[in-house]
Amino acid sequence: MVRETRKDNAVRLFCGWIFLCVAGVMWAEHSYGQDRSQTRSMVISRNGIVAAESPLAAEAGVRILEQGGNAVDAAIATNAMMGVVEPMMNGMGGDLFAIVYDAKANKLYGLNASGWAPKGLTIEYLQKQGIRSMPQQGVNAITVPGAVDGWQKLADKFGRKKLADDLAAAIRAAQDGFPVPEWTAAYWAGSADYLRTDDTATKTYLPNDRPPKVGEVFRNADLAWSLEQVAEHGRDAFYKGEIAAKILNAMKRHGGPMVAADLAEFSSEFVEPISTTYRDWTVYELPPNVQGLAALEMLNIMETFPLGQKDWGFASTNALHAVIEAKKLAYADLLKYIGDPRKHKLPVPTLLSKDWAAQRAKQIDSDQANCEAAAGETPAGNDTTYLTVVDREGNMVSLIQSNYELFGSGIVAPGTGFALHDRGGLFSLDPASPNALAGRNRPLHTIIPAFAQQGDTRVAFGIMGGWNQSQAHAQFIADLVDFKMNIQAALEAPRFSKHTFGGCDVMMENRIPQKVRDELAAKGHKIQLKGMFSSDVGGGQAVMRDFVTGVNYGASDPRKDGQAVAELP
């Protein structure tokens, strides 16, 4: 009898142990085992959020929010810091575009802070030098940098803090230095030979005659001085003051056509965003001279296909084929019809219309890739940084800023600490093109901020990367709308990118299933396989505001070194 009791007790103990183990596993799976492809969660807060490609830049923006600034103040602070910590991508020597949502007025504002060509930089000027194609580097690729004037316009119209306050963190970082992060070090290392083509660029960016390594502290006293000049004297320091004098001396030394009036007479401008509907969302981009119209035309074409429905799911052969083909058609129209609207009458309403998209969609063959997409006939008549901010009141900023290529033109004016961009490289030397080079024209721009809304939900977002941007924007919106992803998952989702305008080549991340890639190849797509999270498909940031609950959401692309950072209560 005693022996049986002991046996019964042992059985009870064993069964109890098994129950606890099973229950523990089930509890652990329920609590922790989130089986998802998303690498990180959204940042969620009732206070402001800044999403940027650098944690230091995001922190600079958050600090301004905590000191009483609004989303625009934070965006300027973040952008200025990005110019310090990622100097190859952006800075005072580049251009800027922004979309601002004013929550109190419930209104969107667009800012075009892209510079014009010097008055003397013309097709004829280049031809006399024996130049037959638009220079991509050097002094003849430099247009007037618009970023600093953009900061001033944004601060004057929307900011609560002084411009000097917004720039303070960047000035300190330039003076004291910062440890170089991984992605930045890789970009820097790849640009070493290019930087050596200019003595001042070498002195500024190659301390000890080499690019800084991961974790090394890099200081830029000249850039701190330039930022201090703008903090003290505003935009005039850059376009009329001591910085301007240094830029003009560099132009003279390199034999460039830029003169004092080109800088002094420049002004950025506020513009009305353009938009289209996609399903039950409205998506906004800036009007030409930027490529944002191609994203909207892509979405209009994509809307004619049943993305998200049976056999048209995420990363399916049907969906990817339709979106890739829509890209080709929209970009062909972009290349033919888009330029500076101040100098040409552009068919923007036609290209934005649903009728135009329906006509273009009929040209997509469901069984065959189009290797030579042509522009439609209308009736007569790379390197970049993106950041976004939402504040506790619901004001939102979508801002993008760029040198164009890594370290821009490769020219640094002595004493300034920043590279002058090479945005003029995007001009055409075809006199019949709306994007033809001419004095005081602005070139077609790749960089685009974006915005979207549905009811009381608003999203400010952008994905950088040259000609990647419009196609990446369209994929992001499809991920949100058709495939029901949150903003973090939509940024992380595998993407394709086609940087060329002709041919059937297309880059694709290897997370897209092999079976789908094989089926696309059978349709004629020539797939260039990339890694899991490839920089070739761009990196983005996003913030979202639910105006019913007053809750903000932030997301940051793992293809970059950045993060979304929430303001402390």
222 HSE (CA, 13 A, CB side): 19
Cα-based angle 432, 434, 437 (whole degrees, multiple of 5): 80
Gyration radius of the chain's alpha carbons:
25
Residue 127, CA distances (Å) to 256, 412, 443, 523 in order: 14, 26, 18, 43
Q: Rounded to an integer, what distance in angstroms lies between the CA atom of residue 444 and that of residue 290? A: 6
Residue 496, CA distances (Å) to 284, 315, 330, 364 in order: 22, 10, 16, 18
554 HSE (CA, 13 A, CB side): 30
- Residue 401 CB partners (closer than 8 Å, separation 6+): 79, 82, 83, 90, 94, 95, 96, 97, 147, 384, 385, 386, 447
Q: Helix 317-337 crosses helix 292-302 at what angle (to 10 degrees)?
A: 140
| Catalytic annotation, residues | 384
Q: Rounded to an integer, what distance in angstroms lies between the CA atom of residue 113 and that of residue 145? A: 8
Q: How many residues does the chain have?
A: 569
Phi-psi region of 394 (alpha: psi -120 to 50; beta: other; left: phi over 0): left
Q: Whose CA is closest to 230, among 157, 162, 176, 159?
A: 162
The token pair at 329 is: 């058609």
Q: Rounded to an integer, what distance in angstroms lies between the CA atom of residue 525 and that of residue 504? A: 5
